[in-house]
Amino acid sequence: MTIPLRRPEAAGLDTGLAVRLACRRGAFAGQTSGLAPGHVQGNLAILPAELAFDFLRFCQLNPKPCPLIGVSEKGDARIPALGDDFDIRTDLPRYRVWQDGKLVDEPQDIRSWWRDDLVAFVIGCSFSFEEALLQDGIPLRHIEQGCNVPMYRTSVACAPSGPFAGPMVVSMRPLKPADAIRAIQVTSRFPSVHGAPVHMGTPALIGIADIGKPDYGDTVEVRPDELPVFWACGVTPQAVIAAARPAFAITHAPGSMIVTDLKNSRLASY
Amino acid sequence: MTIPLRRPEAAGLDTGLAVRLACRRGAFAGQTSGLAPGHVQGNLAILPAELAFDFLRFCQLNPKPCPLIGVSEKGDARIPALGDDFDIRTDLPRYRVWQDGKLVDEPQDIRSWWRDDLVAFVIGCSFSFEEALLQDGIPLRHIEQGCNVPMYRTSVACAPSGPFAGPMVVSMRPLKPADAIRAIQVTSRFPSVHGAPVHMGTPALIGIADIGKPDYGDTVEVRPDELPVFWACGVTPQAVIAAARPAFAITHAPGSMIVTDLKNSRLASY
């Protein structure tokens, strides 16, 4: 069994609340991978209310890349379903602020950018199912190598909704066939964090020309006795929002997720 | 194994498309239970766009009573995820039209009521999981008795969203303990049609004072060797919309659902 290395700066950040409070007081601005083991982490997208229905419908239409775990009321920084002591404006390590599709700020706190017409969307992320795979004894190469998972734009189009459209982005984990079969079983139990894989085997069938050249993340080796296994990825909604070039949007900074009070094990459907 | 009786008027209505086309040409205006075996049927709610985000978020917050299986674009009568040849304005047997919370029309066709600002929501219904239970050999008393399933308002509050709030409504099926355990396993595989039960045993724990007096549907006997098993029910969003008294809304008439091209078996999560 492989376990992600705990980083020195993670000391004491063992719960969702501890991570959020550290972020809130400006004491933590790093990556959240490996923090608060067992707790659900999520991707963040904040959009003006005029786009909120179309984006929420986009997530409903595309649940594998966009598994929603929380949506705020308009103008409300709380998401009670994800934690009681919770402020989406301060509780992430770092944010990205976008205007007309351009990155304009990368702050630790978005209180100065907050508006009464904003809606926050939190989308499940692969950390949850990776924890389940590791606990099941399935080795994950990018974690062994200490790098980011490789991610690829595919030729699979998401179902569009209003201005939101674009290809599905997938992450890839090379697995021996028996581990791939078990990984399908394990991740099927977690539909709210991308669920079962969307493809395995020949990358070209989903429009990936060169498995050695990911569009995001790092390259990892696929050995002759392994299959590349592809999961829908939370970068999809980020890419779709970027392509839609809304007048205003806020997202998490890469790797700096919102850490919730939800337990990964409670996401299991069965 | 118990199988719902096929009704004479159901002859030839063996697919979702066949039912929709019969409704579209005005040839069928009855109940859809037992039609198009194996195909997913859904509850319908149509609301003005100004309420669409709040209602979609209500469904996201309350997935057990409100499992969304399709949402239209604003003003668009099609929902491609549910069928190619599909018109939400004509393809149900009968509709109910509401103004300020009052029932004003019960037509077979809503083309004259349609507006460019309407959004249609289709929510999974218990017919799908009942088919899975019957196929598994679990007897369902209301089907044996040829009556409606009993439904109850509970003391369990849904998570509110904008004007949408209210108690969860549940349906009840009496089951022997071994069948109840198996029913939990079977329905857990179908999260998009209410999923696992929300309660079993003592009705008073969820605010049901008298199991013999359902708020909707018919009374069925719970025998001494049985547990009452409660599932979240698609009447919940109907009741919540009625309580919100929107200026305008359209729903299906009770028992007259939209029949889709989706197969029940394809809803299984695992």
Chain A residues touching residue B162 (CB < 8 angstroms): 73
- The residues, any chain, with a CB within 8 Å of residue B124's CB and separated by 6 or more, are B40, B42, B43, B67, B68, B69, B192, B193, B194, B234, B267
Amino acid of residue A133: L
Q: What is the pLDDT of residues B179-195, one digit of tens each?
A: 999 999 999 989 889 99
CA-based nearest distance B111→chain A, Å: 23
* Nearest to B269, CA basis, from B187, B181, B171: B187
Which residue, B144, B158, B159, B151, is CA-closest to B223? B144
Contact residues, chain B, for A52 at CB < 8 Å: 53
Give the Cα separation of B127 and B104 in Å (integer): 28
Token pair of A268, please? 């299991």
Contact B249, B47 (CB under 8 A): yes
What is the distance in angstroms between the Cα of A22 and the nearest Cα belonging to chain B?
28
Q: Does the pLDDT of residue B2 top 80, yes or no?
A: no
Interface A-B, measured as beta-carbon pairs within 8 A, has a size of: 55
Helix (H) or strand (E) holding A141: helix A141-144
| pLDDT of amino acid A268 | 83
Smallest Cβ–Cβ distance between B270 and the set A74, A159, A270 belongs to A270
H-run or E-run covering A61: helix A49-61
B164 CB neighbours in chain A (<8 A) are none
Select the residue of A53, A159, A270 nearest B56 (Cβ to Cβ). Answer: A53
Cα B175 from chain centre? 21
Distance between CA atoms of residues A114 and A250, nearest Å? 9
User: Higher model confidence: residue A1 or residue B65?
Assistant: B65
Strand A227-232 relative to strand A167-175: parallel, antiparallel, unpaired?
A: antiparallel
Q: A229: which 2 tokens?
A: 């296994």
Interface of B with A (CB under 8 A): 49, 52-53, 56-57, 60-61, 68, 71, 73-74, 80-81, 119, 159, 161-162, 185, 188-189, 191, 195, 269-270
Instruction: State both tokens at B35.
Output: 């039609």
B159 and A53 within 8 Å at the Cβ level: the answer is no
The CA distance from A214 to B128, in Å, is 41
Nearest CA in chain A to B68: A60
The kind and range of the H/E element at B260 are strand B258-263
Which pLDDT score, from 0 to 100, does residue B12 have? Answer: 85
Pick B269's closest partner by Cβ from A80, A159, A269: A269
For A133, A189, B26, B79, B174, the CA distances from A266, given in Å and listed in that order, are 15, 10, 47, 32, 27
Structure tokens at B100: 């300020």
ipTM score here? 0.80
- Decide: A16 and A259 in contact? Cβ < 8 Å: yes
Digit-coded pLDDT (tens) for B15-73: 999 999 999 999 999 999 889 999 999 999 999 999 999 999 999 999 999 999 999 99
Within 10 angstroms of residue B266's Cβ, the number of other Cβ atoms is: 9
Task: Provide the whole-model pTM.
Answer: 0.87
Query: pLDDT tens digits for A220-268?
Result: 999 999 999 999 999 999 999 999 999 999 999 989 999 999 999 888 8
Distance CA A89, CA A203 (A): 39
Give one DSSP letter per residue of B196-224, joined into a string: S-SEES-GGGGT-S-TTS-SBS------T
Domains of chain A: 8-126+241-267 (3.40.1640.10), 129-237 (3.30.2040.10)
pLDDT in tens, A178-211: 999 999 999 998 988 999 999 999 999 999 999 9
Q: What token pair was written down for B180?
A: 């109840």
> SS3 for B263?
strand
Closest CA to B130 of B267, B16, B19, B9: B267
Residues 6+ apart with CB under 8 A from A174: A141, A220, A221, A222, A223, A226, A227, A228, A229
Give CA separation, A172 vs A153, A250, B24, in Å: 11, 26, 46
DSSP state for residue A116 in the 8-state scheme: T
Kindly tell me if the per-residue pLDDT of B82 is higher than 80.
yes
State the CB neighbour count (10 A cutoff) for residue A230: 26
Q: What is the pLDDT of residues A16-75, one digit of tens each?
A: 999 999 999 999 999 998 899 999 999 999 999 999 999 999 999 999 999 999 999 999
Select the residue of B52, B191, B270 nearest A53 (Cβ to Cβ). Answer: B52
